[in-house]
Amino acid sequence: MTLVDSTLSFIQGGNLRAVLDGRPVLQPMIHLDALDLMADTAMLCLSPNGKDRPPISSVTVNLEGALMIMRNNGPMKVLRV
């Protein structure tokens, strides 16, 4: 099992926090929302079947949404594409 395989199972199970480094202090529910969005996007990009992967425009929208969450220091409603 690769690092990607083991991490994907945590993301798919809704347990991303189990694989995060606990040393940095993250503001609860703020940066973690951004991390969840990035992890979900990465999971879609790693789909074994190419036709199931999102177009780069959708990836860009999701990553920009995660960046907006972090820059605004608060959870925002972002469209997950």
Query: pTM for this one?
Result: 0.70
Confidence band for 74, pLDDT divided at 50, 70 and 90: low
- With CA atoms as reference, report the closest residue to 31 among 68, 61, 67, 70: 70
Any idea where the domains of the chain sit in the sequence?
3-71
Residue 77 in this model has a pLDDT that exceeds 90? no
The structure tokens listed for 42 are 């990465």
What residues contact residue 39 under an 8 Å CB cut-off, 6+ apart? 11, 16
Give the rounded distance of the alpha carbon of 19 from its chain centre: 12
The per-residue pLDDT for range 2-56, each reduced to its tens digit, is 888 888 888 888 888 787 766 666 555 557 788 889 999 998 998 889 999 999 9
pLDDT of 65 reads 92
